[in-house]
A = this chain, B = another copy of it.
Amino acid sequence: MDYKEELKACHDRIKPYIHKTPVLTSSYLNDRGSCEIYFKCEQFQKMGAFKMRGAANAILSLTEHEMKNGVVTHSSGNFAQAVSLSAKSIGVPAYIVMPENAPNVKKDAVRSYNGQITECYPSIEVRQATADKIVEDTGASFLHPSNQIEVILGQGTAALELLDDYPDLDLIVTPVGGGGLVAGTALACHYFSKKCKTIGAEPSKVDDAYRSLKSGKIENNETTDTIADGLRTTLGDVNFPLIQKYVDQILLADEDEIIEAMKLIWERMKIIIEPSCALPLAVVLKNPDLFSHKKVGIILSGGNVDLKKLPF
């Protein structure tokens, strides 16, 4: 696949369905990190997260016939909303498998975007089986939140826009969960910048991607015990080879560093971000040897957070 052409085509394809999100800076945080940080604000994306990009591209990459049969995914989080809203905007049915114990606020959000919810027992096996059954019954296309090339390319368009605005970035840092965002970002940096490296940021307690890069095979998480609830997932066989090839390194941050970085962004930048989004700033502040005097892009991935459960 010619990723350079594909990334450009993907961006053109999804443009009518996404926001070009703004880039914010903070002189206070620049001082703290002794670097220039450019925050790409995907929490201002439609439905509140970068996942809109990948979902829209995956749906728009279907044939007309496939589109008629709709799309299906299982998710309790942002990807469920992203698929529902993209499908609604494009005019395609969306079937969303959600664990029966998912919070009502998340179910309501999916319903507000016309997503058709099927509830199931909360285990990954039952979720997948329920989605498979819908595929069988309706002919809908299954969409994976991070391990599908169309989704990965879609997520990469955030970095594409950031590099378009700031072509001389030295590094772009993203959080690493399922691996779609970091893989897409690495493709964008590789093909659209001469020097910009991609760095992934992961919770020390859920460091599967860090260990996978070391061992050369996809490692599982030993715990999912992190406040960064969007990053509890593991890599997949589509994104892992891209991460191995194009991501410079994965850096880790502890829970207290994640919370501190989240608080700094809320208090100093006056924007609402999910805990998962705080990882990049946490690793930038933790590793001055790598980042000081550099121009650093950070993808703020989303802002869907429960305001009643703040960690500070």
Chain B residues whose CB sits within 8 angstroms of the CB of A271 once the complex forms: 270-272
Who on chain B is nearest to A22 by CB? B22
Chain B residues whose CB sits within 8 angstroms of the CB of A266 once the complex forms: 272, 307
The dominant DSSP class at the A interface is mixed
Residues of A whose CB lies within 8 Å of any CB of B are 22, 24, 27, 43-44, 46, 48, 263, 266-267, 269-273, 303, 307-308, 310, 312
Find out whether the CB atom of B43 lies under 8 angstroms from the CB atom of A267: no
Chain B residues whose CB sits within 8 angstroms of the CB of A307 once the complex forms: 263, 266-267, 310, 312
Who on chain B is nearest to A43 by CB? B270
CA gap between A308 and B24 in the complex, in Å: 25
Chain B residues whose CB sits within 8 angstroms of the CB of A48 once the complex forms: 270
The 6 closest A-B pairs by CB, nearest first: A270-B303, A270-B272, A43-B270, A22-B22, A271-B271, A272-B272
Chain B residues whose CB sits within 8 angstroms of the CB of A27 once the complex forms: 46
Copies of this subunit: 2
Chain B nearest CB from A61 CB (Å) reads 24
Chain B nearest CB from A153 CB (Å) reads 25
Chain A to chain B contacts (Cβ below 8 Å), 14 pairs: A22-B22, A22-B24, A43-B270, A44-B269, A44-B270, A266-B307, A270-B272, A270-B273, A270-B303, A271-B271, A271-B272, A272-B272, A307-B310, A310-B310
Chain B nearest CB from A85 CB (Å) reads 10
Chain B residues whose CB sits within 8 angstroms of the CB of A303 once the complex forms: 270
Chain B residues whose CB sits within 8 angstroms of the CB of A22 once the complex forms: 22, 24
Who on chain B is nearest to A105 by CB? B267
CA gap between A310 and B44 in the complex, in Å: 22
Who on chain B is nearest to A24 by CB? B44
Who on chain B is nearest to A302 by CB? B270
Who on chain B is nearest to A304 by CB? B270
Chain B nearest CB from A185 CB (Å) reads 21
CA gap between A308 and B46 in the complex, in Å: 28
CA gap between A74 and B190 in the complex, in Å: 54
CA gap between A27 and B48 in the complex, in Å: 12
